[in-house]
């Protein structure tokens, strides 16, 4: 028979071992969960990574392409932030708020730069920065004189009972309409449409396809400049703050963003950005342009031509369009200081070697440029097996010539660096002249050309990323 004291002693040992076992299981499950959550980065991790991953909503205010250039209120704010930090941006389109929050929490994004309002429920899931601006939710409907005979012009929220309000799924508007339905004691019929942007629903109201939708007031006032037959005067919420969101655990990132937003909002640069997207008289004309990706869908007047020739040589037409944007801004007769001509800025000798008879003819110029890219690709096909790295060598050679890029690869190899990686080689392309030959006036110019080539690669791929985000292949 076990003595009483010994029995208690064994009991405590067993209890202790059970606690240790449960703790080990919990720790293992926590590690497993963390592994599934991806790269849960905070401020210093992002700085070290060199890339800020941002979820942004695609619409005519926050993020779009106009005349080949990425633009938008949120886009420009993020670019200003990344310039301050000395890092690059990576934009991911997410118009589904529920999915955006999930992606933020699992580490797919570092920041939600969407039109997200601060609510008590959302504060349980994410951390919000200092507000960027305030807004209220409003009913978007046709003005009384434009309303159909069987449509009620809503002047009071109580008139929304038994009315069908069309909204995008997974937006803040659904919760507010549900709350409003409770407040007024009658059912509001919430219709979830499959269109991707709020502004599409706004357009449908203007065209009479639907009667009502909901929108943030600051955006609704802007959309009213697009569609003068709309009324946006009926407010259905109190003023709400709009802010960026970060993971609740990203304390350092939130602290930095709070300070940066507060300071940046006091600057002329911020006022210029805000004016460009919310106050400028040119906003409506830009929106209705055929070169706006929301309304017109074109990058340039040469889309069909570029698509046809790109397909002929098996290139992504969006990449070719990005090259043309940076080479000529889609001007077929432009001539550079060095004598390069046309959409793809061909040198006359290069054009001649590819059978180009009229260097300013868009079709001949683009085909000659793509043939040059094809030739350059063959020069690096075996030397740089990774296609995502190889395209950077090709673009640099297109800009500065094959010789300097090959020289930079050789120097990188001699210096013990990996000459298959653009990051290693580009350093020497920017600096190789000064490293080898000194600093007379000729070599300084060549040094500047090396920097220009590296910048060209960055700019072309930057635009190409945005074209891929927004424009179908």
d(CA 16, CA 438): 72
Tell me what pLDDT residue 33 has. 44
The answer to whether 43-134+243-285 and 303-470 have equal CATH topology is no
| Residues 6 or more apart whose Cβ sits within 8 Å of residue 360 | 332, 333, 341, 342
**Closest of 143, 238, 139 to residue 190, by C-alpha:** 139
Tokens of 180: 């409003």
Whether pLDDT at 193 is above 90:
no
Whether pLDDT at 387 is above 90:
yes
Q: Which long-range contacts (CB under 8 A, 24 or more apart) does 256-264 make?
A: 256/43, 257/81, 257/111, 257/129, 257/130, 258/129, 258/130, 260/81, 260/84, 261/129, 261/130, 261/132, 262/130, 264/77, 264/80, 264/81
Per-residue pLDDT band for 398 (boundaries 50, 70, 90) equals very high
Catalytic residue among 76, 199, 217, 327: 327
d(CA 332, CA 327): 10
Confidence (pTM): 0.85
Topology annotation, domain 303-470: Lysozyme (1.10.530)
In tens, the pLDDT along 257-298 reads 999 999 999 999 999 999 999 999 999 999 999 999 988 999
d(CA 11, CA 356): 91
- Say whether 327 is catalytic: yes
Work out the average pLDDT over 236-249: 95
Tell me what pLDDT residue 16 has. 59
d(CA 332, CA 351): 14
Per-residue pLDDT band for 34 (boundaries 50, 70, 90) equals very low
Q: Output b/e per residue, 353-391; b: 16+ Cβ within 10 A.
A: ebebeebbbbbbbbbbbbbbbebbbebbeeebeeeebbb
Higher pLDDT among residues 151 and 315, named by residue: 315
Q: What is the H or E stretch that residue 112 is in?
A: strand 111-113
- Map out the domains of the chain as residue ranges: 1-36, 43-134+243-285, 137-237, 303-470
Q: Which long-range contacts (CB under 8 A, 24 or more apart) does 189-196 make?
A: 189/162, 189/163, 189/164, 189/165, 190/165, 191/164, 191/165, 191/166, 191/167, 192/166, 192/167, 192/168, 193/166, 193/167, 193/168, 193/169, 194/169, 195/168, 196/58, 196/95, 196/168
Q: Are 372 and 349 in contact (CB under 8 A)?
A: no
Whether pLDDT at 464 is above 60:
yes
d(CA 139, CA 146): 16
Per-residue pLDDT band for 172 (boundaries 50, 70, 90) equals confident
Alpha helices (H) along 95-197: 97-105, 120-123, 172-184
Topology annotation, domain 43-134+243-285: D-Maltodextrin-Binding Protein; domain 2 (3.40.190)
Q: So what CATH class is 137-237?
A: alpha beta
């Amino acid at each position: 028979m076990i003595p009483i004291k010994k029995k208690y002693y064994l009991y405590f040992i067993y209890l202790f071992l059970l606690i240790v076992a449960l703790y080990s299981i919990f720790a293992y499950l926590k590690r497993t969960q963390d592994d599934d959550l991806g790269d849960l980065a905070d401020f210093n991790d992002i700085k070290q990574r060199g890339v800020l991953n941002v979820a942004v909503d695609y619409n005519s205010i926050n993020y779009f392409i106009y005349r080949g250039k990425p633009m938008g209120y949120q886009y420009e704010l993020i670019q200003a932030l990344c310039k301050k930090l000395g890092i690059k941006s990576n934009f991911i389109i997410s118009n589904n708020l529920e999915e955006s929050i999930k992606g933020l929490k699992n580490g797919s994004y570092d920041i939600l730069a969407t039109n997200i309002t601060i609510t008590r429920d959302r504060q349980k899931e994410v951390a919000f920065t200092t507000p960027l601006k305030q807004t209220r939710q409003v009913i978007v409907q046709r003005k009384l004189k434009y309303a159909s005979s069987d449509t009620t012009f809503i002047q009071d929220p109580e008139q929304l009972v038994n009315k069908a309000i069309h909204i995008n799924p997974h937006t803040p508007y659904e919760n507010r309409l549900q709350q409003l339905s409770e407040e007024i004691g009658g059912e509001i019929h919430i219709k979830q449409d499959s269109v991707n942007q709020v502004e599409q629903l706004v357009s449908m109201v203007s065209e009479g396809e639907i009667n009502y939708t909901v929108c943030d007031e600051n955006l609704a006032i802007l959309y009213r400049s697009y569609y003068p037959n709309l009324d946006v005067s009926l407010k259905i919420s109190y003023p709400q703050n709009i802010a960026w969101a970060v993971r609740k655990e990203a304390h350092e990132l939130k602290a930095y963003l709070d300070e940066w937003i507060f300071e940046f909002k006091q600057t002329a640069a911020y006022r210029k950005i805000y004016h460009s997207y919310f106050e400028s008289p040119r906003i409506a004309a830009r929106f209705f342009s055929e070169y706006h990706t929301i309304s017109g869908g074109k990058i340039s007047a040469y889309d069909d031509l570029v698509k046809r020739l790109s397909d002929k040589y098996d290139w992504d037409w969006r990449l070719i369009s990005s090259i043309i944007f940076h080479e000529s801004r889609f001007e077929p007769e432009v001539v550079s200081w060095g004598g390069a001509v046309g959409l793809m800025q061909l040198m006359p000798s290069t054009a001649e070697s590819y059978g180009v008879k009229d260097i300013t003819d868009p079709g001949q110029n683009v085909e000659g440029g793509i043939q040059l890219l094809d030739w350059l690709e063959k020069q690096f096909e075996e030397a740089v097996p990774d296609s995502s790295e190889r395209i950077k060598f090709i673009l640099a050679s297109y800009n500065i010539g094959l010789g300097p890029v090959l020289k930079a690869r050789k120097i990188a190899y001699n210096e013990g660096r990996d000459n298959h990686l653009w990051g290693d080689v580009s350093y020497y392309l920017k600096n190789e002249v000064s490293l080898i030959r000194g600093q007379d006036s000729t070599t300084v110019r060549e040094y500047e050309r090396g920097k220009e080539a590296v910048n060209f690669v960055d700019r072309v791929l930057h635009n190409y990323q945005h074209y891929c985000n927004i424009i179908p292949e």
